[in-house]
Structure 1
Amino acid sequence: MADLFSSDPTINSEPGADTRDDSAGHPAPLADRLRPASLVEVVGQGHLLGPEGALTVMLTGALPSLILWGPPGVGKTTIARLLADHVGLHFVQISAIFTGVADLRKVFDTARNRRANGRGTLLFVDEIHRFNKAQQDSFLPHMEDGTITLVGATTENPSFELNAAVMSRAQVLVLKRLELRDMELLTQRAEKDLGAKLPLDGPAREALQEMADGDGRALLNLIEQVAAWGATDPVDTETLGKRLQRRAAQYDKSGDAHYNLISALHKSVRGSDPDAALYWFARMLKGGEDPRFLARRITRMAVEDIGLADPQAQALCVQAWETYERLGSPEGELALANAVVYLALAPKSNAGYAAYKSAMRSAAQTGSEPPPKHILNAPTALMKDQGYGAGYAYDHDQADGFSGQNYFPDGMKRQVYYVPVERGFERELGRRLDWFVEQRAKRGKG
């Protein structure tokens, strides 16, 4: 990050800058030499930069402020720089790690002067989630009056890390980790720049790409190390791992990629296997996973896969999350581990989840059907004349506390969304539901 700043806390870039050699004539790092010169050269983000990609469509009009959310090494900085070139804005880059309030004020003043001279500013903020609330709020007036077009980069979920005010004024674009085919394309570009094929056999070549774990910058750095060996015979996977001081198996795509591990953890909990669940939980922690991500996912498991079969499960997960926030690492992870064991052993039900999805489908299909008039309040005489509230039966006035009235729209057939399972607390909820159905049928006949 040290290259982000000189005496001025910004980097200003003009199109066409040559990055192949530094001021002393030394070759620039491979990752800099292979930095894309146009948006079409960016790999792995076709959902944003393809012919129908979200960013491609945006560029047909005025560029809005953006939040680029994605893992390291997938092109966030590169895309921001190329966007500035594409729309003719002056590119300014700062890092939230090193920038204080005084630095921000200087950036905004300079951008305001630049705008007065007829040129706009694209302000790229790396690690924007590291700014506090006050610092994030300082961007708002300058975004609103057009002094800057903000492009923020973050590896953290912006829903949790950024102010609602900033989020409402910017569009979030999600960048994906690079897949193996993207890594192969980068490898081929590197070989063209180096003027030679990498001295690796087929499995070792793939292992090298997997070691980078979806990070393009990391891959190019690894390639630079391998090329420096000057090997004449192809290196195999075992030798590659020894020379790079990494175990290639650790990056095996069959089990170690981030999405595979979280899937294994989730399905182990769903399958009521606390031992397997703890194993995958530990694997993710050992791999450097953010415990907060795990806390969110564990709470999601309670909501989706346990639900009302054990109403305490969700509360226990939230408590474990709060305990982690108070204790921090490493003691806080034990609270999350306890939650994992509890969820694995809890009765399972997705009945509430399924009911919610069914209700959402019905809501989309029925549009703006109004509620039946008998359950509408009538605070005015006109509303009473329209029949609002007429015939409403107050359930607490009934002997058994149940009126059996219809609460769906008048023109809509009664729906059944929630079907409880015969497990855990939902067994009791099922008995209650059966009684209500029976009473509603009796009173409907009457």
Structure 2
Amino acid sequence: MSDLFTTGGLEASVPRPLADRLRPQRLSEVVGQEHLTGPEGILTRLTGGRSFGSLIFWGPPGTGKTTVARLLARETELHFEQISAIFTGVAELKKVFEAARGRRAVGQGTLLFVDEIHRFNRAQQDSFLPVMEDGTITLIGATTENPSFELNAALLSRARVLVFKALDGAAIEGLLQRAETLEGRRLPLQPEARSALAGMADGDGRYLLGLVEELLGLPDGSDLDVAALAETVQKRAPIYDKGQDEHYNLLSCFHKSLRGSDVNAAMYWAARMIVGGEDPGTVFRRLCCAASEDVGMADPQAMPMVVAAWTAFDRVGWPEGRLFLAQAIAYVATAPKSNAAYSAFNAAMALAQKTGSLAPPKSILNAPTKLMKDLGYHAGYRYDHDFPDAYAGQEFFPDDLSGDRRPDFYAPNERGFEREVKKRLEYWARLRAERQGR
């Protein structure tokens, strides 16, 4: 169909979306990716040599990945071929590779742009390796997901990963001004509404220009405030894939904010997840982890506090349930911190793996049969409640780990309740030494 339009001279009369009409014609015109396309950018340097290796473009939607791939093909005089992993199977891939081999035979290279490359399975990704290695194609794969998790190691070893950034405020404003210049009129927005429009785009230039095109179609004389803008265009949901990379990124930000005792940041990242559609149970689960791993014995009430808030949330539901979520976040974030118990158990696990099946002291083994009694099981056990302070000071470690070789995993600090725990341990250590005659 496109060939018929071109042949008939009708292509110029076909309406083109604003995003297409504003598409950059040179790398230097790409906005928001100056670290790649600016004078000192990686891609600018690579194209200076008229050739480059295969690349993976990783970044959110609407940041120019497709446009940059087209410009690279143009500037290096490669044939541009575009496919989508969503709609392309093995048979189609074979045809693409055969066509590229044919072009190569007559001296024409091929830049193959694969959108959503992470959608290909392992076998499909492996099929690119031979044609990448023999130079049949220069591959540029685009993905919104972390390549480390979604792409085969073999493919990644043959391609350089370049990160595209969500468009910042300056890049967004630059696009708005370009659109106004091209259309010969200003956007019908008051200053606050113009700022709100940039926020609605959430760093996606393609989505932004779609909104701009809708606004430029309003009658002359329109001048929208923020409320009128919200009524005119629908606000976009934040980019957030609950099952993929962004899910784990925001959980990491949330947990680290809790650990760093930054209650405001913790509230923000939790809100980002909830607004993005995350199950509140996921947030509560991470709160439980932080209450144990990072607060621990410095405030033993942190865990029951989170569990109680979670239970209340399950019973009451949303929206009132956000009160319980907020309280739990505030409690864990502002609680004194200690990972001593967590670190102690890690050390105990490591020692258990290293030392194997050391026999426990027979004195602390039960002796339910006569044979076990005859073998010395339970002999010499001292019942702690028969001693002052309910502490006998007996040895519970295997012989090979007792006395001077006794491990000391748990080292409480001076923060919160753990300060009291430390005093108890020091007291019991003194009693143990006295009652063991050391």
TM-score (norm 2): 0.61
Whole-Å separation in 2 of the counterparts to 1:140 and 1:426: 59
CA distances 1:83-118 after superposition (whole Å, capped 9, x unpaired) = 111111111100000000101111111111111111
Whole-Å separation in 2 of the counterparts to 1:105 and 1:424: 66
Matches for 1:284-295 after TM superposition, within 5 Å: 284-288=273-277
Are 2:202 and 1:217 equivalent residues in the alignment?
no
| 8 Å contact kept, 1:307–1:351 | yes
Q: Which residue of 1 aligns with 2:230?
A: 241
> What root-mean-square deviation, in Å, do the aligned CA atoms of Structure 1 and Structure 2 show?
4.9
SS at match of 1:125: strand
Q: Closer, same or farther in 2 for the Cα pair 1:118/1:29, shift >3 Å?
A: same
CA distances 1:114-169 after superposition (whole Å, capped 9, x unpaired) = 11111111110000111111111111111111111110101111111111111111
Q: Closer, same or farther in 2 for the Cα pair 1:138/1:348, shift >3 Å?
A: farther
Q: Which residue of 1 aligns with 2:15?
A: 27
Are 2:26 and 1:38 equivalent residues in the alignment?
yes
Displacement over 4 Å in runs of 4+: 258-266, 276-280, 298-303, 305-310, 340-344, 346-352, 396-399, 418-432
Whole-Å separation in 1 of the counterparts to 2:419 and 2:158: 43
CA distances 1:3-55 after superposition (whole Å, capped 9, x unpaired) = xxx8xxxx99xxxx99xx97482320000000000100000011112222222
Whole-Å separation in 2 of the counterparts to 1:288 and 1:165: 35
Please list every run of 5 or more consecutive structure 2 residues that lacks an aligned counterpart in the other structure: 239-246, 298-302, 304-323, 344-399, 426-438
Matches for 1:181-220 after TM superposition, within 5 Å: 181-220=170-209
Whole-Å separation in 2 of the counterparts to 1:102 and 1:226: 43
C-alpha displacement at 1:192, in angstroms?
1.1
Q: Which residue of 1 aligns with 2:257?
A: 267
| 8 Å contact kept, 2:412–2:418 | no
Are 2:112 and 1:151 equivalent residues in the alignment?
no
Matches for 1:31-430 after TM superposition, within 5 Å: 31-61=19-49, 62-246=51-235, 266-268=256-258, 270-271=260-261, 280-281=269-270, 283-288=272-277, 306=293, 345=332, 400-401=404-405, 422=415
C-alpha displacement at 1:308, in angstroms?
9.7
C-alpha displacement at 1:398, in angstroms?
9.9
SS at match of 1:59: helix
SS at match of 2:182: helix
Q: Which residue of 2 aligns with 1:319?
A: none
Q: Closer, same or farther in 2 for the Cα pair 1:238/1:307, shift >3 Å?
A: closer
Q: Which residue of 1 aligns with 2:375?
A: none
Q: Which amino acid aligns with 2:404?
A: D
| 8 Å contact kept, 1:268–1:344 | no
Whole-Å separation in 2 of the counterparts to 1:56 and 1:427: 62
| 8 Å contact kept, 2:250–2:269 | no
Whole-Å separation in 2 of the counterparts to 1:427 and 1:35: 66
SS at match of 2:202: coil
C-alpha displacement at 1:424, in angstroms?
8.4
Q: Closer, same or farther in 2 for the Cα pair 1:402/1:178, shift >3 Å?
A: same
Q: Closer, same or farther in 2 for the Cα pair 1:279/1:217, shift >3 Å?
A: closer
SS at match of 1:113: helix
| 8 Å contact kept, 1:123–1:148 | yes
Whole-Å separation in 2 of the counterparts to 1:430 and 1:59: 67
| 8 Å contact kept, 1:136–1:163 | yes
Identity %: 50
CA distances 1:44-67 after superposition (whole Å, capped 9, x unpaired) = 011112222222233344311111
**Higher alpha-carbon Rg:** 2
Q: Closer, same or farther in 2 for the Cα pair 1:431/1:167, shift >3 Å?
A: farther
Q: Which amino acid aligns with 2:34?
A: G
| 8 Å contact kept, 1:124–1:152 | yes
C-alpha displacement at 1:269, in angstroms?
6.1
Whole-Å separation in 1 of the counterparts to 2:220 and 2:424: 73
Q: Which amino acid aligns with 1:184?
A: E
Deviates most, 114-123 or 29-38: 114-123
Whole-Å separation in 2 of the counterparts to 1:145 and 1:98: 26
Q: Closer, same or farther in 2 for the Cα pair 1:342/1:200, shift >3 Å?
A: closer
Tell me how many residue pairs correspond in the alignment.
Answer: 331
